[in-house]
Structure 1
Amino acid sequence: MSRSDVVYYYDGSFYGFLSGVFDAFAQKEEPMLFLSQEEEEQPLLFDSHFVETDPQKARRVLAGVQRTLGSRGVDIVREGFLTRLPQREYLLLKFLRQGFQEGPQLLAQLTREPLCSLLSAIRKAKNEAHLLTGFIRFSRCETGVYVSRIRPKNQVLPLISGHFCRRFSDQPFLIWDITHRMALLHQPGKRPQVLPLECLDMPAPSPEEEEIQNMWRAFYNTLAIPARENPRCRMTHMPKRFWEFLTELTPPPAKNEEKALTFFNEMVQ
């Protein structure tokens, strides 16, 4: 008989979660909750199990998912872990238990829980990642590295990595996810990495970058038609939570804006 009165603590990583899945099956437990080791609050009256991240255990779990549910099942586990779905670890574990028992026919039951909730959360995460491919703004610092900040709801860095690495394959860049304290680091000729990053002091843009940003703001403001301004329509196509780091919506120093606007007007005349 499986034990369910236990809480699992893990390091918050994907391999850490899979190591917890391995332990749950090996010890015949059904943890009622997964918590990051950083979370100090522990539910009372429940035992704790501290999961040690073991890449070998994690790979064995993924291999089992591949054999039982195929690539589609692996994708659901990987992408489901990136979502902001409450208790996503518990739901993923429940999905894996069902999958190991029933096989690939489970994937056809789209209205069945927890698969339905997982697919819905994955769809929202992918939609957010798609929006960010157009809303991310890079700033070139004096070292030549392009840096950007985002504040997403989901862990989108693995979802947008391919897009930006293909588009800027010959340029070094870093995208910092403030929400989840992670960063996507790309260096030409090397494999991109998603690394933990607690804090980042944004480097000052290079003089050329600052001039380009000011000209872009001037271009944006010059083409705007005040009489046709529609904030509600703008927020429909560009949710307000993405405005924080948009160059065109970030006011520059007054003197720089005036200089850039004069330069732009001279070009179009």
Structure 2
Amino acid sequence: MTTLLFDGSFPGLLTAIFEVYEYKLNDVRLATADSNPVLFGEQREVVTDASKAKRVWQGIGNCISGEARHQLYQAYLSELDTMPQTLLAYFQYAFFKQTNVHEDFSHPAVLTVHQTVRKVYREKHRMEAFVRFSETTDGLFYAVVEPDFDVLPLIAEHFEKRYADQRWVIYDCRRKYGIFYDLSSVQVVEMNFSPDMLQGKDASAAWNEKEAGFQHLWQQYFNSVNIASRKNTALHIRHMPLRYWKYLPEKQPAGTGMAG
């Protein structure tokens, strides 16, 4: 078996798929450079090549619809260890059939991609619903999130349209990067927050003077619309999982700020 090690990026994955065909590799495994090493077989390091990646991406676009192709990218954002191998199998099947195979659930790779995309889409939808911004002293609105999947690339357009008149940044504290909107475009940024800032211990020091009041209003509003006699905790958690609560001001104890 030949293991192709790529840098973990989507262009890197596409480059690795290109090299599977370029070198006519049959028994091949795709893995990121930080994956567990294999004891047997040959290992090759893949150098990401934009031109090779583009050819593969255009090639799969000739076989499947634009929507199905976007779903391949969504599946990649799941960051599952097995996804590179699954996507390779999907590409190979699509190239072999030369037809739109995205609904051929009899093929294991197609079914896995479909199931994974549904999970990623749910996480995307939840992020769009649960992101809460706080305003800093310099007028920047920021939010900290910790999604199960790498969905920042998928939610950027939603927030750019919805908050087009203000500067904002959404930071993924699990993956250590964020998306920043500067009133003209969204850019990927890397930032170093202190552990205390991420845990909400000193976040209020950067707030706009009105922010504490806004967060208190959030808490009051949530308490006022909550009907104790109709409380259904199980249903509530199903729609708003506990893992999101630490980033929601309405879920913080009265008089405290949002963690994040």
TM-score range, shorter chain: 0.7 to 0.9
2:216 corresponds to: 214
Match in the other structure for 2:193: 200
Cα contact 2:63–2:100 (8 A) shared by 1: no
CA deviation after TM superposition for structure 1 residue 140, in Å: 1.0
Provide closer, same or farther for how the CA distance between residues 174 and 30 of structure 1 changes in structure 2, counting only shifts above 3 A: farther
2:169 equivalent among 165, 168, 174? 174
Q: How does 1:228-239 map to 2 (within 5 A)?
A: 228-239=230-241
- Counterpart of 2:245? 243
Report the equivalent of 2:33: 37
Contact 1:157-1:194 at 8 Å conserved across structures? no
Report the aligned-residue RMSD. Answer: 2.2
The answer to whether the Cα contact below 8 Å between 1:16 and 1:58 also exists between their aligned partners in 2 is yes
Query: Which letter does structure 1 place at the counterpart of 2:11?
Result: Y
CA contact (8 A) 2:167 2:183 kept: yes
Amino acid at match of 2:187: Q
Report the CA distance shift for 1:84/1:16 in structure 2 as closer, same or farther (over 3 A): closer
Shift in Å at residue 194 of structure 1? Answer: 3.3
AA partner of residue 29 (structure 1): L
Distance change in 2, residues 1:94/1:171 (3 Å) = same
Cα 1:154–1:199 change in 2 (3 A) is same
Partner of 1:140: 135
* Cα distance change of structure 1 residues 251 and 31 upon mapping to structure 2, 3 Å threshold: farther
Match of residue 20 from structure 2? 24
Partner amino acid for 1:8?
L
Note the alpha carbon deviations across 1:16-51, whole angstroms, 9 max, x for none: 111111122111225654333344x41212322111
CA separation of 1:166/1:95 partners in 2, compared to 1, >3 Å: closer, same or farther? same
Rounded Cα–Cα distance in structure 2 between residues aligned with 1:219 and 1:70: 45
Contact kept, 8 Å, 1:80 with 1:121, in 2: the verdict is yes
In the alignment, is residue 54 of structure 1 matched against residue 56 of structure 2?
no
Following the alignment from structure 2 to structure 1, what is the Cα–Cα distance between the partners of residues 252 and 85? 40
SS in 1 for 2:243: helix
Partners in 2 of 1:186 and 1:112 — Cα distance? 40
Q: 1:65-98: per-residue Cα shift (whole Å, max 9, x none)? A: 1122242442232122112444111110111011
Contact 2:65 2:100 in 1 (8 A): no
- For the pair 1:91 / 2:86, whether they are aligned, the reply is yes
Kindly indicate whether the alpha-carbon contact (under 8 Å) linking 1:95 and 1:115 is maintained by their aligned counterparts in 2. Answer: yes
Q: How many residues align?
A: 248
Which blocks of at least 5 consecutive residues in structure 1 are unaligned? 257-269
Verify: 1:127 aligned to 2:137, yes or no.
no
Runs of 4+ with >6 A deviation: none
User: 8 Å contact 1:84–1:121 — kept in the other structure?
Assistant: no
Would you say the 8 A contact 1:8–1:31 is kept in 2? Answer: no
Match of 1:68 in 2: 63
Identical-pair percentage: 25
Structure 2 match to 1:12: 8
Structure 1 pair 14–105 and aligned structure 2 pair: CA distance change class (3 A) = closer
CA distance in structure 2 between the aligned counterparts of 1:143 and 1:36, rounded to whole angstroms: 39
Q: Structure 1 residues 18, 31: closer, same or farther in 2, change over 3 A?
A: farther
Letter in 1 for 2:52: K
**Structure whose residues are more often helix by fraction:** 1
